[in-house]
Amino acid sequence: SFQHTLYALMMLAVYLGILIYLSWKLSLIVLTIFPLLHLLFTRLMKQIHSVSHLQTREFTIASGKLTNALTIIPLIKAYNNEKRELEHLSHISDQIESLEFSMDKKTNSVYPIQELVSLCYLLLLVILIGVFIKIDNNAHIANYSVFLFVLMRTSRLFGVFNSFRTTIAECSGPLQELSSLFDDRDKFFIADGSIEFTRLKDTVRCENLSYTFPGGVSALSDCTCSFLSGKTTALVGESGAGKSTILNLLMRFYEPPRGQIFIDDIDINDFSIASWRDRIALISQDALLFHDTLRENLLYGLSRDVSEQELQQILSESKLRSLVDSLPDGLETLIGDRGVKLSGGEKQRISIARALLKQADILFLDEATSSLDSKTEREIQASLDSLIQGKTTIVIAHRLSTIRNADHIIVIESGHIVEQGTLDDLLDKKGRFFEYWEEQRF
């Protein structure tokens, strides 16, 4: 440990002082061992450092490959690719095993090298002491005996120091990988305000909003639009038009480089992020679930206590009662990573129930029903209609039913807002939205 290493360094200084006091001539010879050991171990530590980085890279590749394989098992089976995937994973496993063997070989050689060099020096010193005693009849054998004893103790302390260096070199790969996660360079930060957001009174307004992804790809350009309190606004456009980017900016996942977002005429940056996100809820196409019980997935992130009675009521409203009754342990059943044990409709009902429990004022629906079949979509849409009553809702729309029910529609194309208005207004204009409507291409 660091404490032991610090103690060893302090004792090393004390022992060196004793050695110099006993015989400064022999001490000069002893001191030459330290540069030699330092050169040997510095070279060895570089090799261990290099292997550690290779190990970390292979572990990262292996974990990513394994996670990917587990995620796409149906695809692997459908394309009869099990053998190739196993061979790939086996190859990576062999690489890791080879690197582990190389690491063990190098780390286990540290102590023997130190002992061998120390033994050679000790034999040399014994010979020199014999020569000194023969030349100087007044030499005290006891002094030289103490010198050798202290020298052996010094050698052991030097071993503690080298052990610490070896441990650091072994961990250098994972430590550098971890430190990169906390490296602030080239990372953006969301400004946090001091005003507590309580509720939306009037309007969320975007003015000249622009956003460019890293790499220079423009997602939004000078977008100006409004979202009225208690109303449903549908964002319409082809894939990649910029609809999800607007949602991400409103949820404060990104910081717009140009333009502003106002909440009731107050800059969104002036509100604290925690208070703003506490009043919003997200229901996305890919239901965000994790490997835990159904109860924990439902109650995730809530800043208030929920009674059992309220929870049961929400289960009924979101049509989850039959699912809970069918599970072996009810609400305490593990639902698997990303809800792998559930159907698409069941996952969406959990997302809806979570939003109901949060009691959010502002809802973001990111293509919430686009991946469902018609029957399930109608059932989920009925639950969503109940959820959005009286709430400010911003929805990325792909279905005609969603667009029909919207109070306001914003049409986005290549990062620009090309049209906005009510359904009737946009159809009367016979513009871009009319083309989408005629072709049913949303």
Query: Taking residues 295-322, what's their average pLDDT?
Result: 84
Residue 384 near residue 365 (C-beta atoms within 8 A): yes
Amino acid 416: pLDDT = 92
Amino acid 209: pLDDT = 92
Query: Taking residues 381-406, what's their average pLDDT?
Result: 78
Q: How confident is the model at residue 421 (pLDDT cuts 50, 70, 90)?
A: very high
Amino acid 377: pLDDT = 66
Predicted confidence (pLDDT) per residue in 236-265, tens digit: 988 888 899 999 999 998 888 889 999 999
Amino acid 187: pLDDT = 59
Amino acid 369: pLDDT = 61
Residue position matching structure tokens 């016979």: 430
Choose the weakest-confidence range: 247-251, 411-415, 438-442: 438-442
State the angle between helix axes of 110-135 and 141-181 in degrees (0 to 180), rounded to the nearest 10. Answer: 160
Amino acid 373: pLDDT = 61
Domain residue limits, the chain: 2-181, 203-439
Residue 356 near residue 314 (C-beta atoms within 8 A): yes
pTM, to two decimals: 0.66
C-alpha to C-alpha distance for 9 and 32, rounded to whole angstroms: 18
Please give the order of strands across the beta sheet that includes 258-263.
Answer: 217-228, 203-213, 258-263, 266-267
Domain at 2-181: CATH code = 1.20.1560.10
Amino acid 268: pLDDT = 92
Predicted confidence (pLDDT) per residue in 285-302, tens digit: 777 788 888 888 888 878
Give the C-alpha distances (Å, rounded to integers) separating 388 from 96, 168, 282. 52, 55, 12
Amino acid 5: pLDDT = 66
204-232 burial code (b ≥16 CB/10 A, e <16): bbbeebbbeeeeeeebbbebebbbebebb
Amino acid 55: pLDDT = 84
Amino acid 368: pLDDT = 61
pLDDT at residue 275 tops 80: yes
Amino acid 186: pLDDT = 60
Give the ranges where 79-210 is alpha helix by DSSP (H).
Answer: 82-107, 110-135, 141-181
CATH 3.40.50.300 assigned to 203-439: yes
Amino acid 374: pLDDT = 66
Q: Half-sphere exposure of residue 60, counting CA atoms within 13 Å on the CB side? A: 11
Query: Taking residues 60-72, what's their average pLDDT?
Result: 81
pLDDT at residue 371 tops 60: no
| Helix and strand totals (H; E) in the chain | 17, 10
Residue 393 phi/psi, 5° resolution? -125, 130
Q: How confident is the model at residue 138 (pLDDT cuts 50, 70, 90)?
A: low
C-alpha to C-alpha distance for 58 and 349, rounded to whole angstroms: 39
Give the C-alpha distances (Å, rounded to integers) separating 23 from 11, 26, 86, 315, 369. 18, 6, 66, 85, 86
233 has which bridge partners?
A: 394, 408
CA angle 182–288–177, rounded 5-degree value: 20
Amino acid 342: pLDDT = 79
Query: Taking residues 60-69, what's their average pLDDT?
Result: 82
Q: Which amino acid is residue 153, in one-letter code? A: R
C-alpha to C-alpha distance for 371 and 351, rounded to whole angstroms: 14
Query: Taking residues 130-134, what's their average pLDDT?
Result: 68
Predicted confidence (pLDDT) per residue in 143-198, tens digit: 777 777 777 777 777 767 777 778 788 888 877 777 777 765 665 667 788 899 99
Residue 385 phi/psi, 5° resolution? -60, -40
Q: How confident is the model at residue 217 (pLDDT cuts 50, 70, 90)?
A: confident
Amino acid 261: pLDDT = 93
pLDDT at residue 370 tops 60: no
Ramachandran region of residue 98, left (φ > 0), alpha (ψ -120 to 50) or beta?
Answer: alpha
Amino acid 231: pLDDT = 92
